Structure 1
Amino acid sequence: MFDTRPDRDSEVVFVGRSNVGKSTLMREFTGHTFSTGANPGVTRKPNHYDWAPEDFVLTDLPGFGFMEGVPEERREAIKTDVVRYVETNAEHILVGVLVIDGKSVIDIIDRHTERGEIPHDVELFHFLRDVDIPPVVAVNKMDKVDDRDDRLDALCERLGLYPPWQQWRETIAPISAKRGTIQPLEEAIGHHLHEAKRDDLLKFF
């Protein structure tokens, strides 16, 4: 399922738990509406967008983590496939966008930490760094968050970044995909594309 990657040299990937708004965000960037499974965990393969003439592909990887009605074995298999895809294609991936739900992510991270587990979001953030892919955390649904700065500072602490969050604008991007408020993410991705000397791709973000 994961071996259908288009033959494109450069890639930006979107990863994250199920139901964090990745599909809405992809629609903002691509203008394409695409079907998502009626039930979380149904989509098992990446969605690739290689509509541009440039040597470039935008990839939406399947959501992972807890999904109601999906056995743990299958959830783990999805996560393993996502990690393997990123690892296999790391040399082509210019930016890894980790999409999280700004409203619930702190509670989810703390719940896993209290159980002695490494939370998926934290694990994936460090994994992207370990394979030399610049991570950008798209903190979605921020329109539903009241204590914005406190919440983003708390997120930084849990990711091992020193607050205040404002000094990490190339890494932490508070957005609301549903409202089309994604400029902080566009700027963060743009920063890394510029660093990679790929200003030709800035027009997509």
Structure 2
Amino acid sequence: MFENRPNREAEVALVGRSNVGKSTLMREITGHSFDTGGKPGVTRNPNHYDWNAEDFVITDLPGFGFMSGVEEDYREEIKTNIVHYLEDYADNILVAILVVDGKSAIDIIDRHSGPDEIPYDVEMFHFLRELDIPTVVAVNKMDKVDDKDERLNELCDRLGLYPPWKQWQEIIAPITAKRGQIDALNEAVRDQLHEQNRDDLYKFF
């Protein structure tokens, strides 16, 4: 199990499959570099970034889902650890940021949709909501997407949100983390914090 969480009450957690740009996004939010590897599965324990003077931590959870060169047992163990972490700290997590790859998310979701299979991204989105964790979907790498509105509408549809996506801007946030284009995410996170009377945390987003 993940044991190294700082003793902080309030938390924002980043979740998502491997190689969607979580660590890059974490760097944009915190201004602090973390180990990002070219190969999936580099982040194997949560990266926590806390401000000593604040009762607040941002956590980048390990990537889940298929990772080339990583055994299935190990992938399942990571996923189980993530699920337990989210369950254990659900009351502390003010906002979860589910990071997806805007370019490939729809294809991956559709490829894994079947009678016995729920795609990881969709499953995680509903799992977070079942835990009553306010969730923002950061749709990353939007610089590589041509038909942005259409792609975001399709994503809403897969997540069970009625399109058009623009009515869900407190949930769906198109970003390009590598270029520092994360304003939509910051706005969405602030909306969620405001709902919980935590405007004091705006300065981090």
Q: What range is the shorter-chain TM-score in?
A: over 0.9
**Correspondence for 1:31:** 31
Contact 2:35 2:43 in 1 (8 A): no
* Structure 2 counterpart SS, 1:59: strand
**Correspondence for 2:88:** 88
**Correspondence for 2:145:** 145
Normalised by the size of structure 2, how large is the TM-score?
0.97
**Correspondence for 1:16:** 16
Equivalences, count: 205
How far has the Cα of 1:52 moved from its partner? 4.6
Contact 2:97 2:136 in 1 (8 A): yes
CA–CA distance in structure 1, aligned partners of residues 96 and 124 of structure 2: 10
* Dislocated runs of 4+, deviation >2 Å: 36-39
Map 1:145-184 to 2 at 5 A.
Answer: 145-184=145-184
* Structure 2 counterpart SS, 1:90: coil
Runs of 5+ unmatched residues, structure 2: none
Map 1:1-205 to 2 at 5 A.
Answer: 1-37=1-37, 39-114=39-114, 116-205=116-205
**Residues 1:36 and 1:50: Cα distance change in structure 2 (over 3 Å):** same
Letter in 1 for 2:26: M
Q: Which moved more, 1:101-110 or 1:26-35?
A: 26-35
CA–CA distance in structure 1, aligned partners of residues 179 and 167 of structure 2: 25
How far has the Cα of 1:44 moved from its partner? 1.8
CA–CA distance in structure 2, aligned partners of residues 143 and 91 of structure 1: 35
How far has the Cα of 1:203 moved from its partner? 0.4
Letter in 2 for 1:140: N
How far has the Cα of 1:109 moved from its partner? 0.2
CA–CA distance in structure 2, aligned partners of residues 155 and 18 of structure 1: 18
CA–CA distance in structure 1, aligned partners of residues 184 and 43 of structure 2: 28
Normalised by the size of structure 1, how large is the TM-score?
0.97
Letter in 1 for 2:35: S
Letter in 2 for 1:67: M
Aligned-residue RMSD, C-alpha: 1.1
How far has the Cα of 1:39 moved from its partner? 3.2
* Structure 2 counterpart SS, 1:67: coil
